[in-house]
């Protein structure tokens, strides 16, 4: 279903939003004609409450509760909870939507229309379309919604249909849409191209491992996005139990998210030299799978002791980050569904990130709040550096003890991100465990809208 606004014409029904503190004044004023009807429904203007208003020819519009500040603070997209309670049709906000949240709320409304229906035939769901509220640029908000839909679709698609080759095809289609250049290094060419960790992690799978490299724009600051594209993660020889393997189709959520962010940037035609690097692999089990205890040499020359083959994401990212830094990007972002420790720390709703750049961190916090994309800064805690140094190699991919797992993984990646003007790493979940307004259960974009808001300042745009 296309995520689009309704045309601004007379057919759209008026929707009045009422906070709990505005109900009395509305009933005493313009709402007096419908007072008895609204009061008979027990309407108290709680968030998501809806009363349909009758008219001479049928439905005249609706009044919806917008709750109070505390209720709205508990809901990512408050207006989306209203949209879900309305009957199908075209709607316009008659009053009650604060101008400062109009764009975010309009985005949330559009996202209620998302559904992953690739494998299920049937009639389309009836649409509840919104006329773009006053002051909202419909093209910009539709661009954000389409980018999120791309990310969700990629994450939701099972690994049988979203392996490394399919992920490459999706990346190629995106590049072609915006006239970007794409190069792909596959299989044993990764070895001759000095990308040994990507090859090692993916060599046991049926589909060849690969590095996807997209470029767009020839002038402006250099911005490089690196996304973990582990299309399925069995854990390798350190095999995951079934319960832990069940959601591993989403282990390419970092790749899906950087593709969604790249779509935003290219659609909005940022004056940057954009590069997107995606190491696309499947961590599988076979006779040639890499083993616990192996010592691997990375593109950067740093050696890595493998103490757990299930800590493979940081390995493939390491080579991609090293490659990225050879050009000295002005900003470098890595995104990955990297550690369960991050979820233990902040749960599934927040996207934790790491950076040494205080200005970028502040920009991310502000943009995350502005665009309903909550993020939380975690530290590159230098005293933990010793935990990733095993003694017989330069680095340990899985320090023993299990403490500070998100931090030690981030510190590992930082060793390969030297040379970038600003670096931030996101350890995202990329999944919505329970359906919520504007967020269907399943794949989810995290951190991308915060980055879209913060990166222009970091790049001096």
DSSP string, 234-287: --TTSPPPHHHHTTGGGGGHHHHHHHHHHHHHHHTT-SSEEEEEEEEEEE--ST
- Angle at which helix 138-156 crosses helix 102-111, to 10 degrees, equals 40
Q: What is the pLDDT of residue 2?
A: 65
Q: Which of 140, 240, 370, 377 is catalytic?
A: 240
Last residue of a domain, one of 136, 156, 191: 136
How many domains, in total, are found in the chain?
2
Predicted confidence at residue 383, as pLDDT, reads: 96
Question: Is the domain of 350 the same as that of 295?
Answer: yes
- How far apart CA 10 and CA 14 sit, in angstroms, is 10
122 torsion bin: left (phi>0), alpha (psi -120 to 50), beta (else): left
Range 150-165 average pLDDT? 98
Q: Which of 375, 350, 372, 381 is nearest to 363 (CA)?
A: 375
Residue 147 lies in a domain: yes
Lowest mean pLDDT among 64-78, 124-138, 155-169, 186-200: 124-138
User: Using CA atoms, how far apart are residues 112 and 82, in angstroms rounded to an integer?
Assistant: 10
Strands 375-378 and 273-283: unpaired
Q: Are residues 347 and 306 in the same domain?
A: yes
123-137, 164-178, 428-442: the lowest-pLDDT one: 123-137
In a domain, 6, yes or no: no
In a domain, 182, yes or no: yes
Per-residue burial over 147-174, b if 16 or more Cβ lie within 10 Å, else e, is bbbbbbbbbbbebeebbbebbbebbeeb
Secondary structure letter of residue 142 according to DSSP: H
Q: Does residue 409 form part of some domain?
A: yes
**Consecutive H or E run containing 146:** helix 138-156
* 40-66: pLDDT as tens digits: 999 999 999 999 999 888 899 999 999
> What is the structure's pLDDT at 27?
87
24 shares a domain with 100 = yes
| 370: annotated active-site residue | no
Domain boundary among 100, 121, 136: 136
Residue 49 lies in a domain: yes
Catalytic residue among 203, 275, 314, 343: 314
Give the end-to-end CA distance of the chain in Å, rounded to a whole number.
Answer: 34
Contact 316, 322 (CB under 8 A): no
Average pLDDT over residues 88-94: 95
Instruction: Judge contact between 111 and 143, C-beta under 8 A.
Output: no
In CATH, what number is assigned to the domain containing residue 126? 3.40.220.10
Distances (CA, A) of 180 to 171, 177, 265, 323, 333: 10, 8, 12, 19, 19
Does residue 229 carry a pLDDT above 90? yes
Which one, of 384, 357, 381, lies nearest residue 454 by Cα?
Answer: 357
Mean of pLDDT over the chain: 96
Percent of the chain at pLDDT > 70 equals 99
CB 295 within 8 A of CB 391: no
Q: Is 1 contained in some domain?
A: no
Query: Are 32 and 132 in a shared domain?
Result: yes
Is 392 strand, coil or helix?
Answer: coil
CB contact at 8 A, 284 and 205: yes
For residue 308, the domain's CATH number is 3.40.630.10
Check residue 58 and give its pLDDT: 87
Q: Do residues 317 and 428 both lie within one domain?
A: yes
Q: Is this prediction's pTM over 0.85?
A: yes
Per the annotation, the verdict on 74 as an active-site residue is no
Residues 198 and 265 in one domain: yes
Output the pLDDT for position 30. 67
| 274 and 125 in a common domain | no
Q: What is the mean pLDDT of residues 143-164?
A: 98
Contact of 373 with 448, CB cutoff 8 Å: yes
In a domain, 316, yes or no: yes
Domain termination site, one of 116, 136, 156 = 136
Structure tokens at 121: 């035939």
365 and 435 together in one domain: yes
pLDDT band at 400 (very low <50, low <70, confident <90, very high): confident
Nearest to 193 by CA among 287, 293, 291, 326: 326
Same domain membership, residue 154 and residue 105: no
Same domain, 455 and 421: yes
Least-confidence region, from 171-175, 197-201, 238-242, 388-392: 388-392
For 443, the domain range is 143-459
Q: How many angstroms separate the CA atoms of 408 and 456, rounded?
A: 29
293 and 223, same structural domain?
Answer: yes
Asked whether residue 1 carries a pLDDT value surpassing 60, the answer given is no
Distance CA 404, CA 226 (A): 23
pLDDT mean over 114-125: 84
Domain identity same for 122 and 183: no
Query: Is residue 156 predicted with pLDDT exceeding 60?
Result: yes
pLDDT bin (cut points 50, 70, 90) of residue 28 is: confident
Asked if residue 8 belongs to a domain, the reply is: no
Is the distance from CB of 16 to CB of 26 less than 8 angstroms?
A: yes
How large is the average pLDDT for residues 21-25? 91
């Amino acid at each position: 279903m296309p995520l689009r606004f309704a045309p601004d014409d007379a057919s759209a029904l008026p929707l009045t939003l009422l906070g709990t503190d505005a109900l009395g004044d509305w009933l005493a004023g313009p709402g007096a004609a419908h007072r008895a009807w609204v009061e008979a429904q027990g309407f108290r203007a709680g968030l998501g409450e809806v009363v349909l208003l009758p008219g001479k020819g049928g439905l005249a519009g609706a009044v919806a509760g917008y709750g109070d500040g505390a209720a709205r603070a508990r809901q990512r997209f408050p207006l989306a909870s209203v949209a879900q309670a309305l009957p199908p049709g075209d709607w316009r906000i008659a009053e009650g939507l604060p101008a400062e949240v109009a764009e975010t709320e309009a985005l949330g409304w559009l996202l209620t229309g998302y559904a992953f229906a690739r494998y299920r035939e049937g009639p389309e769901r009836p649409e509840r379309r919104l006329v773009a509220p006053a002051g909202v640029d419909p093209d910009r908000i539709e661009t954000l919604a389409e980018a999120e839909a791309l990310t969700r679709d990629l994450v939701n698609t099972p690994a049988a249909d979203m392996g490394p080759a399919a992920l490459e095809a999706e990346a190629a289609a995106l590049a072609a849409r915006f006239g970007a250049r794409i190069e792909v290094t596959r299989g044993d060419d990764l070895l001759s191209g000095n990308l040994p960790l990507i090859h090692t992690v993916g060599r046991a799978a049926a589909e060849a491992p690969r590095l996807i490299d997209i470029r767009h724009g020839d002038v402006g600051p250099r911005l490089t996005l690196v996304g973990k594209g582990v299309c399925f993660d069995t854990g390798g020889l350190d095999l995951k139990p079934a319960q832990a393997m069940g959601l591993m189709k989403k282990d390419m959520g970092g790749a899906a998210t950087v593709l969604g962010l790249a779509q935003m940037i290219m659609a909005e035609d940022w004056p940057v030299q954009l590069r997107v690097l995606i190491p696309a692999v499947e961590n599988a089990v076979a006779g040639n799978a890499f083993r616990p205890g192996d010592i691997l040499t990375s593109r950067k020359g740093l050696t890595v002791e493998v103490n757990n083959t299930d800590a493979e994401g940081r390995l493939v990212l390491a080579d991609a980050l090293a490659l990225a830094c050879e050009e000295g990007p002005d900003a470098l972002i890595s995104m990955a569904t990297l550690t369960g420790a991050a979820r233990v720390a902040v749960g599934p709703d927040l996207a934790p990130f790491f950076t040494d750049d205080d200005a970028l961190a502040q920009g991310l916090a502000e943009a995350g709040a502005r665009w309903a994309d909550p993020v939380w800064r975690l530290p590159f805690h230098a005293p933990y550096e010793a935990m990733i140094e095993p003694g017989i190699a330069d680095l340990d991919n899985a320090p023993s003890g299990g403490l500070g797992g998100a931090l030690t993984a981030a510190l590992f990646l930082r060793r390969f991100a030297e040379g970038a003007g600003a670096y931030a790493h996101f350890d995202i979940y990329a999944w919505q465990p329970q359906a919520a307004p504007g967020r269907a259960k399943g794949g989810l974009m995290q951190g991308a809208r915060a980055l879209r808001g913060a990166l222009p300042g970091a790049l001096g745009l």
